[in-house]
Structure 1
Amino acid sequence: MNVPTELREALLEFTISYLLERPADVLDYAVEFFTKMRDNRDNFPYYFKEKASPDESVASNAEEFALRFNNRRKSVFAEAYNPEEDDDDDIPKQIFPKSDKQRQRLADSVKNILLFRSLDHEQINEVLDAMFEKNVHQDESIIKQGDDGDYFYVIQSGVYEAFIFDGKEEKKIHTYDNVGSFGELALLYNMPRAATITAVTDGSLWAMDRQTFRRIVLKSTFKKRQMYEHLIECVPMLKTLQPYERMNLADALIPRIYPDKSRIIKQGDAADGMFFVEDGLIRITVLGEGGAEVEVKRVEKGDYFGELALVTHKRRAASAYALGTVKVAFLDVEAFERLLGPCMEVMKRNIDDYESQLVKIFGSKYNISDVR
């Protein structure tokens, strides 16, 4: 599928602004960004003034940066990475040996990085294998504005500052203090480095080369979307969604694997999301008289569970256990409320059916609303 140039340009505008400002809430930021982009078509491109960041210089720097890159975006997009055309599966994977301590430190550093959020356990291990440690010294330039992108970096330790040269002077736009990552923009869009990053103190970074970054992050994300779009097509309830809604849902799903007999959700717990079954079988139980668990149904590939508490705004009404190894796609509560509005009536009908089954098992006294 060819992505329209206008869409790519709009997304690049947003990505640059987001990465420079680092707002606390990406959704609120995106809504305001694209609303103002629509209202200011004649002045495109532009960057709206700071809201989430306390640094008042960020927004003006971002605007200057956007204007400077506007004239060369078309050549950048002409070289954009297309995962459908990537046939490098036979290329040997990069593996840099690490001690158990190093590997754990790296795992702690990457677990909260948005880019890696959708990767499964095997892909995360591939990320850990592919990154190597780079020691840096005070005043060392890690990347330079205008250079070709070669590596993506995750900070292990040290303080780093980001600068943008506007043609007259160099301005500081961000400080990384022993946490964070940088360098992804040039690799994602095959564009020159957007800023210069300099070490303020001695420190240590984890680095990943361009080819490995694209194969793991971009290609795996593309494959994940394809896989989840197919899964969504197999769920009858989700057939009411429009194509773009299915695509958004696919992007929001997070892969999880549960070993045999493990508990996935517990009756009485607060709900954090719902689950779609990719592979395997799941046993649903409720507490009966005397506190014994009674099986009420089984859920298999293409089914879903955990939505009950989200629809009723109650605590979990049942427990779920893996029968054999189970792969699920998890949708957190925020994404659920944002994306599955069109499916709510179907879910409510299913809740009525579910309650009918429980009444048959436990008698007329049983009521889902009584579960706490």
Structure 2
Amino acid sequence: MANNLENIDMPADKKAYIISKLNPVLEEMVTRIVTELPEDLPGYADELRKLWYWSMQNQLAKLRAEIRTSIGDDGTGLDSDAESEAEDDEDYVDDLPANFLMPENQKGKTRASVSAEAYGAWNVKQAFTAPILSKSFMFASVEEREMAVVVDAMAEVKLEAGVRVIKQGDDGDFLFVIEEGTLDCIKEIDGEEKVVKTCESGDVFGELSLLYNCPRAAHVQSKDACVLWKLDRETFNHIVKDAAAKKRERYETFLQKVPLLAAMGAYERSQIADALKPQSFADADAVIMTQGEPGDVFYILEEGSAYAEKNGARVMEYSPGSYFGELALIKNEPRAATVKAGGSGAKLLALDRRSFKRLLGSVEELLRKQADEYQ
């Protein structure tokens, strides 16, 4: 746009305004809209307005803190009326936290034009982060529009092998999502450090300090070169924690009605609720799993209907609360039947093999007996 402005008869101050003020706003707006394709464009624009407002408030807060530091902690050099007015402004919008900023590598830069090249770094961040977040139960219930804000607030962290990114007992203000690499969770037990868990791509760690405002429960150290994404406490509390709590409450209520899990305690059900991932099959007769193929997922039907076919014959009907897919996980055998969505489609809650083994151990014997009866 800067090159085009040179040929337009316009005062220099207006050209400077377009380059320094308007271009950055248009760049981010166009990038977000083209990426997300929102249906409610006016509503989406209003949401961006709130985001930018909080971004400016955050920058003002940082400047205010720097001024206090430079003139002393008593803040005598700061005009009290101006400070009061700024604090009043902070109440203007209360549904987005104050640190929803542009990516770190974009801050403080004035762009000369709005172009596809200028969007590159932002798009790369979106492309690489979103799939990783979708694999993590902590983010599974975050709305698409809110997810864009979460991604915007995350910062990339690259580690070499042997780096201790979290220390047991420290206060924590960030959680981390693993994009690449593996890390060991290490606890000090009887004076010795012991590896209690290994985290890999898609796993989240460091969330306990943010959830319960407690010190770090363990050391976390990289086993090899890693790429992480860290998220601050304010964004987590405002968006992720709230969404995760709503998801857990909804799933826990549903799981109480699943006969298989009726005898479980509330804590066990809450762990299962956290690990469940929703899957939808909108079309009638859509294939959910296929007879003879290997299986690594256990399903619970949340809404709609489904049916099983064995060698072409329908052998089972499923309604909400029913489950299937356990045979392949219990016996390490191929899928015993093909399962398809019913006429109204099917909404499922899926549990992967690792979570199935870890969380359903108390009902595995019951599942084995039912599996023998089924066969």
User: TM-score scaled by structure 1?
Assistant: 0.48
User: TM-score scaled by structure 2?
Assistant: 0.47
